[in-house]
Amino acid sequence: MIIDKSNIYVLIMAGGVGSRFWPMSRNEFPKQFIDILGTGNSLLQTTYERFSDITVNENIYVLTNKLYGNIVKKQLPELISTNILLEPDKKNTAPCLAYASYKIYQKNPKAIIIVAPSDHLILKENNFKDIIINAVKFAANEESIMTLGIKPTRPDTGYGYIKFNSKTNNDSIFEVESFFEKPNINTAEQYILEGSYLWNAGIFIWSVKAILNSFENYAHNIHEIFLQGMPFYNTNKEQSFIEKVYSTCPNISIDYAILEKANNVYTIPSDIGWSDLGTWASLHQVSIKDDFGNSITTDLSNLESTKNCLIKVKKEKAVVIKGLDNYIIVDQDDVLLIYPKNLEQEIKDVSSLVSKNFGSNFV
């Protein structure tokens, strides 16, 4: 089955603030716009390129907060400006995906939609594209909600999990039985042993009709809000309509609004070299390291009795460290962070405390 590229749409989610990547990620310039991997491209630019040969340029949309519209324009000059959808308020993922989906339906009722975060790492690009095309074909034939599940490589407590069961008539696609929030270490180890659990990557594929029906059935209040916009989508009245109604939306994720309620959810167990790059430790895990497990961004270093550290500094900075094990060291112009890696989940709260004590310009 050949899918017409003109019917494939991509929604790139780029509205988060990346607070766990503080102090590099800031409210005015979050991590999706930063070249965190040192490749010469921001995470957003890399994500855009990933989909550029899966669909046509005019079918790629970036969903972001109104604060970041100009950054998106600057980083993706090839993107059609009307394909930058600006959220007036931070309302989590369900409202912005509803907005984009009703807008696309008004343009093309045959659309198949791929939803992708802007800040994830995918090392096995060819595997990823093959899996996406398989999912798109399935979504074109079945009224389904598809989520990519990542085959776990360790009992990680930082991810949500998907439990899957019987196969469909497509050998690589499975029905989802249930979703589970971030487990403790003992539960995560049990998930790995059982073998029927996957990490939830937050990458979705569905037909526009399937997702609109899901909003109508499971999140009717959101459905009613965005259904009103059908006369305005893809016109010069669209933004004023969104500005008017967006604040009335509930603050809710697509997982809670749709996925955990629907009975037509499927997953593909995927080996794509994936990381959500959600924390400094996740970056350290995928970074090149020396013989002692240190990842460092300058060649001007003298490390003694130091191991398992992530050291993020300017290339021209000389670094001397002795006696640190399992630390995050991030040197920004106005902030120096030195923090135990095993306590990195506290960094979000630390940044809030810094803002309270020293001023919001530090976050």
* pLDDT tens digits, one per residue of 204-224: 999 999 999 999 999 999 999
Q: What is the mean pLDDT of residues 333-341?
A: 96
| Bigger pLDDT: 157 vs 326 | 326
Mean pLDDT for all residues in the chain: 95
Residue 300: predicted pLDDT: 97
Q: What is the 3-state secondary structure (H, E, C) of 25-93?
A: CECCECHHHCCCCCCCCCHHHHHHHHHCCCCCHHHEEEEEEHHHHHHHHHHCCCCCHHHEEEECCCCCH
Confidence band of 2 (pLDDT split at 50, 70, 90)? confident
For tokens 């909600």, what's the residue? 145
Give the angle subtended at the CA of 132 by the CAs of 128 and 134, to the nearest 5°: 120
pLDDT at 75 over 90: yes
Q: What is the mean pLDDT of residues 319-326?
A: 98
Residue 83: predicted pLDDT: 98
Residue 171: predicted pLDDT: 83
Measuring CA to CA, which residue among 76, 75, 79 is closest to residue 60?
79
Instruction: Please give the Cα distance from 330 to 207 (Å, whole number).
Output: 42
pLDDT at 331 over 80: yes
Structural domains in the chain, sorted by start: 5-275 (3.90.550.10), 280-362 (no CATH)
pLDDT at 50 over 90: yes
Residue 3: predicted pLDDT: 79
Contacts of residue 142, defined as CB under 8 A and 6 or more positions apart, other chains included, come to 168, 264, 266
pLDDT at 1 over 80: no
- Phi and psi torsions of 53, nearest 5°: -110, 5
The one-letter amino acid code at 278 reads: G
For tokens 């995050």, what's the residue? 328
Contacts of residue 16, defined as CB under 8 A and 6 or more positions apart, other chains included, come to 30, 31, 32, 119
Residue 157 near residue 124 (C-beta atoms within 8 A): no
The DSSP string of 280-321 is HHHHHHHS---TTS-EES-S-EEEES-BS-EEE--TT--EEE
Q: What is the mean pLDDT of residues 311-337?
A: 96
Pairing of strands 301-304, 197-207: unpaired
C-alpha separations of 191 from 159, 187, 197, 272 in Å: 12, 6, 6, 20
* pLDDT tens digits, one per residue of 288-307: 999 999 999 999 999 999 99
Contacts of residue 230, defined as CB under 8 A and 6 or more positions apart, other chains included, come to 102, 106
Residue 345: predicted pLDDT: 86
Residue 128 near residue 50 (C-beta atoms within 8 A): yes
> Model-level pTM?
0.93
Residue 11: predicted pLDDT: 98
Residue 269 near residue 164 (C-beta atoms within 8 A): yes
Q: What is the mean pLDDT of residues 61-90?
A: 97
Residue 156: predicted pLDDT: 87
